[in-house]
Structure 1
Amino acid sequence: MQVTVQSFAGGAGTEIELADEVFGLEPRADILHRVVTWQLEKRRATARGTRERSDVARTGKKLGRQKGGGVARHGDRRAPVFVGGGKAHGARVRDFNPSLNKKVRQLGLKMALSSHAKAGSLIILDGFEVAKTKELQGHFAGLNAGKRTLVIDGQAGEGFRAGRNLPGVNLLPAVGANVYDIIKADTLVLTRAAVEQLEARFNG
């Protein structure tokens, strides 16, 4: 797949060859849904488990006789009504870490990249070395980027520092590329270094 490389400096861009096995796949909604669900489940944090009646280490001896004592009938001191007793209906430790095969995760990332290439919302930049936020904002206006733009570079450089305050712009290094952020963006901007690292990631 041939794509024109754009530059912040303007002028005629060169052509770059994108690997069809990474950027030329037909996206499947079921694969993308599985990967996004897995990714969001991985972000969830479980509550710290509380000690319930069966977890509290207190005597199990009956407090007194069943009748005639003039008090409520209790079995032991582990009851939730007593200070130091077990928690009634306490928080449980839950597993929010479902498993997903590595092949499916890689396929989902390839399809997310291919979806932008197919929709024409993929922009390839020669580089992303910009020091001023205002200057970077003008460059994005010239690229005709969408409302939500994701920029993926080879590594976090000076451009990341300049672009972190831009509304609607998210910046990631190539090692942090993920399906959820890619498909959520209206426009995907990749640098040459990001393309090389992503293709090497799948071929390695």
Structure 2
Amino acid sequence: MNRTVYSIDGKELRSIELDDAVFGLPVNEDLIWYAINNELANKRLGTASTKDRGEVHGSNAKPYKQKGTGRARRGDKKSPVLVGGGTIFGPKPRDFSYSIPKKAKRLALKSILSLKAQNDTLKIIEDFSIASGKTKELAGIIKNFGAHERTVIILKDDDPKVKQAGANIPWLSFLSYNRLRAHDLFYGRRVLVLETAVKNLNDFYADSAKKLEAGADNGEAAL
């Protein structure tokens, strides 16, 4: 498919070819959900922790004799049924992260890119850089492409000056073409892709799909 490339002033410049293997796929909602939940799970810290009866502070001595008091039998003051005692089966630090197949993750990202292209929320703009690193310059560029809303900019490389300029804009996030995040990309109301980043996306994801298919064919042939 062909899409228009815009200048940083919002004017039409030329057209560019988008690879249908990256931007023209049917949207797989199940894979998108799978990829987003995987990213959220991998971000969880899992630091919740409680103390059991062996970890709380207190004496190990028997508080009173076993018989003759008319009270319950107590081995120590750290029993979970007493105030200040340990917790029964409480949470401990754990790792919530897990991995998903590489092929599934890439297909989910391509589904999101295809969805944004179909909804016309994906705009391609000419390559730019902000030498001063000032927020005002970047905000002026973004303003030419819509209202104040959650925006994702896909960069052609790791440009520290552009990221510095956008650090003070809370609704703006940056992604590199080879390190996309499904959560940020899916929930971005607008996706601005630099012209070179589009070419890189075409090469990176289309070539990756071909390599995976070639590997699968080789594996089947070996079997």
Q: TM-score range by the shorter chain?
A: 0.7 to 0.9
Aligned counterpart, 1:123: 123
8 Å contact kept, 2:26–2:111: yes
Write the mapping of 1:152-191 to structure 2, written as runs, cut at 5 A.
152-154=154-156, 155-166=158-169, 168-191=171-194
Is residue 202 of structure 2 the alignment partner of residue 199 of structure 1?
yes
8 Å contact kept, 2:36–2:182: yes
Write the mapping of 1:90-169 to structure 2, written as runs, cut at 5 A.
90-130=90-130, 131=132, 132-144=134-146, 147-154=149-156, 155-166=158-169, 168-169=171-172
Amino acid at match of 2:184: D
Q: What's the offset of the Cα at 1:48?
A: 4.9
**Percent identity over paired residues:** 33
8 Å contact kept, 2:9–2:144: no
Give the Cα separation in 2 of the matches to 1:30 and 1:117. Answer: 19
SS at match of 1:170: strand
Task: Rate the CA distance shift 1:65–1:147 in 2: closer, same or farther, 3 A.
Answer: closer
Q: What's the offset of the Cα at 1:148?
A: 1.8
Give the Cα separation in 2 of the matches to 1:137 and 1:61. Answer: 67
TM-score by length of 2: 0.73
The root-mean-square deviation of aligned C-alpha atoms, in Å, is 3.2
Give the Cα separation in 2 of the matches to 1:39 and 1:141. Answer: 30
8 Å contact kept, 2:10–2:144: no
Task: Rate the CA distance shift 1:104–1:145 in 2: closer, same or farther, 3 A.
Answer: farther
Give the Cα separation in 2 of the matches to 1:167 and 1:42. Answer: 22
Structure 2 runs not aligned, ≥5 long: 209-223
Give the Cα separation in 2 of the matches to 1:17 and 1:146. Answer: 29
Task: Rate the CA distance shift 1:73–1:162 in 2: closer, same or farther, 3 A.
Answer: same
8 Å contact kept, 2:175–2:181: no
Q: What's the offset of the Cα at 1:64?
A: 7.3
String of CA shifts for 1:83-132, please: whole Å, max 9, x gaps. 8x744453334442244222211111111111110111111122131344
Give the Cα separation in 1 of the matches to 2:118 and 2:88. Answer: 54
Q: What's the offset of the Cα at 1:159?
A: 2.2
Task: Rate the CA distance shift 1:76–1:169 in 2: closer, same or farther, 3 A.
Answer: closer
Q: What's the offset of the Cα at 1:151?
A: 0.7
SS at match of 2:13: coil
String of CA shifts for 1:162-192, please: whole Å, max 9, x gaps. 2232353222333442111111111100112
Is residue 47 of structure 2 the alignment partner of residue 47 of structure 1?
yes
TM-score by length of 1: 0.79
How many equivalent pairs are there? Answer: 202
Task: Rate the CA distance shift 1:10–1:123 in 2: closer, same or farther, 3 A.
Answer: closer
Write the mapping of 1:26-41 to structure 2, written as runs, cut at 5 A.
26-41=26-41
